[in-house]
Structure 1
Amino acid sequence: MLRRWLVSTLAILLSIVLVACTTANTQQPQTKVENTTEATNTNSQQLPKGSAKRVVALSSLSADIISRLDKTKIVGITGSKLFNNDSRFKDIPRVSEGQSPPNLEKVVALKPDLVIGAEGFSNIPIQRLQQLGIPTLLTKVNSWESLEEVTKTLAKSINADPQPLLNRYKTFLPEKPTQSFSTLALVSRQPILAPNKNSWAGDLLVKFQAKNIAADLQGKSPVGGYVTLSAEKVLEANPEVIILVNPPQGNSEVALLDSLKKEPFWQQLQATKNKRVYVFDYFGLVNPGSIDAIEKACEQLKQVLFAP
């Protein structure tokens, strides 16, 4: 049990690093909105001169967005469990699986006129594709505003209207939040890792007006947008609501919860005493993943944060 828990903890830490990495270098200035939005074009001279007609998406979110904007434009995607039962992608070739690097031969064989990658994860394959003269685009979604900006950018690249999708996003958010609980989201136990306001999860908590106790904290965590907390810090903050994240690989939320129950501080927390501890999926809360995953996370946040 301990070994399986450790493996799952390492898996989620690695996944966050891959998705939320912000240290990748690019040579062109990045487009930013309120210092949180980035839709990066690593080489503006290589973008399609007109509307892209054959798009390969190296991230599940960009594949989902392109498909919803114009399903005829997507010709290759990264393999993801989010799409296993999605009929839209049944016959679309996979150029990678899970966290494996994309197969560049498969990408080139699809003759794309645009390849979309995720910054911090796709930089190396994107650079190689650029060397082959294939138009590319790097995106990063670490806030709600960046989700909207990336959607607009992708829509422009294929000459599609982003407004219906942007309108759908608005329905995910609460209209008039009436309560605001002090909240702690945990993605691992050793170390105790929590999102601050510079992560997708942290920004989402802001949108729901949750009092994220880690929002303004900074630290030396190797994961951008996340901070490590001591047991003493958690006990001092004493959150009303605790959110545990289900790792992307496996189903180990029970092991995580069981490990926390063994900690002396755990039973002293008001969230534990009041049974306000909830489990969320990794996709949607930590990694946006897909539009449906985001919607599901938002619905769960409404239930958790606005419950009587």
Structure 2
Amino acid sequence: MYHRWLLSALAFLLSITLVACNSASTQQLPAKVANTTETTNSNSQQLPKKSAKRVVALSSLSADIIAELDKTKIVGITGSKLFKDDSRFKNIPRVSEGQNPPNLEKIVALKPDLVIGAEGFSTIPIQKINQLRIPTLLTQVNNWESLEKLTKTLAELIDADPQPLLNRYKTFLPNDHNQSLTALVLVSRQPILAPNKNSWAGDLLTQFKVNNLAAELQGKSPVGGYVTLSAEKVLEANPDAIILVNPPQGNSEVGLLDSLKKESFWKQLQATQNNRIYVFDYYGLVNPGSIDAIEKACQQLKQDLFGAERT
């Protein structure tokens, strides 16, 4: 069941926003919301005193950003299906695979002068690496501003120019910000979970000027940045569009949609009646994952929510 995957993933990933997760060792759902943008843990930081030349990245997003800034600086990454066919990483050693924690011996053997981790999943490995006096950085990304700040931080650490990549990010977002569309993003059925504004997905909707009807909601939820909705609450919200998110493992978006169709409220929603139900990949929308994943999610938002003719 979809919700079982979601809760089990959360238990494994130790409450994080940016995290190397699941079989791809990439960023996972945030179970702890930060009000800051890109943050670092002062108790786990030992930043390099000069430009880093040998970087090990323990999250797919950080690895991708470093590779875009200067691919010669990457010497180790976590195994990720997002990079399966990426020639940039073909000969780069993997320091972890699947859901296993990073192999410290492999990391040390690469003689890095900087190891970048994700707050939560990488906290313990980073602390151990710090004890070896290897410079480290813990990152946390939960909104667009944090993505830009992380890019600037990494560029500074490896003495690269972040501007070309920052300019590329701008092309992902729509030019027209005069939108009045209402929407809900649903990531599971039992419980019905939707991102509020304190999440990557919620902030992405904000960047597109989409009125996320769960943006200001708060409440008890197994996932920070997400709220639990009742069927009545969904029906009361009655958004123009509903976005469903398939999980990172398997192909179960049809299962989630089919399960929601069994709910008595489903056919009463205007989004259902107007055929405005859209299925998105987990990477890019819920989990930033990589630059390409973010770009694809943005392209789909433009097309599905604003570009295609409605039937």
| TM-score, normalised with respect to structure 2 | 0.90
Contact conserved, 1:143 with 1:200, CA < 8 A, in 2? yes
| 1:231–1:45 CA distance, 2 compared to 1 (3 A) | closer
| Deviations 1:111-139 (CA, angstroms, capped at 9, x unpaired) | 11000001121111111111111110011
Structure 1 distance, partners of 2:81, 2:12, is 14
User: Does 1:300 pair with 2:300?
Assistant: yes
Name the residue aligned to 1:109.
Answer: 109
Q: Aligned with 2:50: secondary structure? A: coil
| 1:12–1:44 CA distance, 2 compared to 1 (3 A) | closer
Q: CA deviation at 1:181?
A: 1.3
| 1:44–1:232 CA distance, 2 compared to 1 (3 A) | closer
Structure 2 distance, partners of 1:176, 1:83, is 32
Structure 1 distance, partners of 2:300, 2:146, is 22
**Structure 2 counterpart of 1:157, which letter?**
L
User: Does 1:209 pair with 2:209?
Assistant: yes
**Structure 1 counterpart of 2:219, which letter?**
G
| Deviations 1:62-81 (CA, angstroms, capped at 9, x unpaired) | 00000000000000001110
Unaligned regions of 5+ residues in structure 2, if any? Answer: 17-27
Name the residue aligned to 2:99.
Answer: 99
Contact conserved, 2:52 with 2:113, CA < 8 A, in 1? yes
Contact conserved, 1:56 with 1:74, CA < 8 A, in 2? yes
Give the number of aligned pairs. Answer: 296
Q: Aligned with 1:40: secondary structure? A: coil
| 1:13–1:191 CA distance, 2 compared to 1 (3 A) | farther
User: Does 1:177 pair with 2:184?
Assistant: no
CA RMSD of aligned residues (A): 1.9
Paired residues for 1:1-308 under 5 Å: 5=2, 7-10=4-7, 17-18=15-16, 19-21=28-30, 23=32, 35-43=35-43, 46-307=46-307, 308=309
Q: CA deviation at 1:306?
A: 1.1
| Deviations 1:70-107 (CA, angstroms, capped at 9, x unpaired) | 00000000111000000000000111123321111111
Structure 1 distance, partners of 2:9, 2:133, is 35
Contact conserved, 2:3 with 2:188, CA < 8 A, in 1? no
| 1:134–1:63 CA distance, 2 compared to 1 (3 A) | same
| 1:256–1:304 CA distance, 2 compared to 1 (3 A) | same
Name the residue aligned to 1:28.
Answer: none
**Structure 1 counterpart of 2:271, which letter?**
A
Q: Aligned with 1:306: secondary structure? A: helix
**Structure 1 counterpart of 2:176, which letter?**
K
Q: CA deviation at 1:234?
A: 0.2
Q: CA deviation at 1:45?
A: 6.7
| TM-score, normalised with respect to structure 1 | 0.91
| 1:13–1:238 CA distance, 2 compared to 1 (3 A) | farther
Structure 2 distance, partners of 1:14, 1:282, is 18
Name the residue aligned to 1:27.
Answer: none
